[in-house]
Amino acid sequence: MSKVGLVMRKIQFAEAQGPRIFAERLQRISRDLGVELVFISPERHVSEHDWLPGYEHEKGDLVNYDVVLDQIYSQKIEHVIYTVSGFTFLKMFLPNSVLFPHSFPDPALTGYEMMKPFYTMVDKAIVQTEFLREQIRERYGVTDVDVIPIGFGEDLARRHFDPDAIVDNRILWIGRDEANRRPDLVLEYARRNPDKEVFMVFGGMRYKESMKKYSIPDNVKLQFALSQDEVFALMNSAKVYFSSSRFDTFAMPLTEAMAMGKIVVKPEHPCYGHIHGPHCFAGNEANWFELVNMAAAHPRKWSEQNREYAFDHFSERVMVEGYRRFYEAWLR
């Protein structure tokens, strides 16, 4: 069986959100394709100070190279997928290194200026969307890029789908307490629309503490670190899925929302262009609240077209075929 290392930060493996879900899904798929995916991460942290000058995540990664390389060499790994640009220098030691970015140097994201120098070294990448493939090619001249979605679990999307359980006034938002995700906007929406039931789901327990700085309206229900089963059950019960982020690299909850037939309100930024369907409505801060209310008042309880589009474009089946082709070319 071939062996591939997956390099992520320790906190990404630890929290019940996008990166860990991606890692576990890829590990399972890889095993079925005859590839052993080995999780690699630094045991020590220099990034806990977040964005204080000198402690930025990517800069902090540099001093962890010895820890990461020791793990890789001890496992006799020659092929590596790394998910944060701070580990771009791995290709100096392992020519078969490929980036699957969990973040991207976009002005909407914290630390984008600091990420840019690392991207000038990237020569091979896997991305989630065609938009990101175009961006990496245009801005950094990287042409060896595969587009493979992080496919949602089709069994979950089928098992939890029950139109009779949809609550007409229930709005769902999934994100983090970060400036880019705009949880403040969702709280303001709830404040202005007391007739709506607004669920806000956060991937990690650490946000339980950080959300205490906000005044939470009575019609908002906060949820933390839900399992995939819990996410899909809750997703099914909502009529509208609302995304307010400035920029997304993964946008996993949006593809899951489409798979569950939600009526979607999303940002008009082109990074969300793959979230495409007759019941996906794009807007901005000036009209989002109105769009969410229009979506909640829509005569349809759910969108069959959104669901079909998601199964055709973002399902785990599509992800499996993408990695089958990728591994056949990369590992030969």
Which pLDDT score, from 0 to 100, does residue 44 have?
Answer: 66
pTM of this structure: 0.91
Instruction: Cite the residue boundaries of each domain of the chain with CATH code 3.40.50.2000.
Output: 2-151+315-331, 154-313
Give the max Cα distance, the chain. 59
H or E element that contains 38: strand 35-40
Residue type, 100: F
The distance from CA 90 to its chain's CA centroid, rounded to whole angstroms, is 23
Spatial distance between the Cα atoms of 62 and 44, rounded to a whole number of angstroms: 12
Q: What b-and-e string marks burial along 9-19, b requiring 16 or more CB atoms within 10 Å of the CB?
A: bebbeebbbbb
Spatial distance between the Cα atoms of 238 and 296, rounded to a whole number of angstroms: 9
290 neighbors 314 (Cβ within 8 angstroms): no
Radius of gyration of the chain (CA): 20
The distance from CA 69 to its chain's CA centroid, rounded to whole angstroms, is 26
Helices (H), 154-243: 154-159, 183-192, 206-210, 228-237
- Residue 162's SS3 state is coil
Which pLDDT score, from 0 to 100, does residue 13 have?
Answer: 78
CATH for 154-313?
A: 3.40.50.2000
The CATH fold assigned to 2-151+315-331 is Rossmann fold (3.40.50)
Residue type, 183: P
Which tokens is 154 given? Answer: 């089709």
Which pLDDT score, from 0 to 100, does residue 298 have?
Answer: 97
Spatial distance between the Cα atoms of 309 and 313, rounded to a whole number of angstroms: 6
243 neighbors 183 (Cβ within 8 angstroms): no
Strands 145-147 and 125-127, bridge-based pairing: parallel
Per-residue pLDDT in tens (0 to 9) along the chain, 332 residues? 899 999 998 877 777 677 888 999 999 999 999 999 999 988 765 545 555 666 666 777 777 889 899 999 999 999 999 998 889 999 999 999 999 998 888 887 777 888 888 999 999 999 999 999 999 999 999 999 999 999 999 999 999 999 999 999 999 999 989 889 999 999 999 999 999 999 999 988 889 999 999 999 999 999 999 999 999 999 999 999 999 999 999 889 999 999 999 999 999 999 999 999 999 999 999 999 999 999 999 999 999 999 999 999 999 999 999 999 999 999 98
Which pLDDT score, from 0 to 100, does residue 243 have?
Answer: 97
Spatial distance between the Cα atoms of 2 and 308, rounded to a whole number of angstroms: 35
Which pLDDT score, from 0 to 100, does residue 12 have?
Answer: 79
Spatial distance between the Cα atoms of 316 and 31, rounded to a whole number of angstroms: 14
**Would you say how long the chain is, in residues?**
332
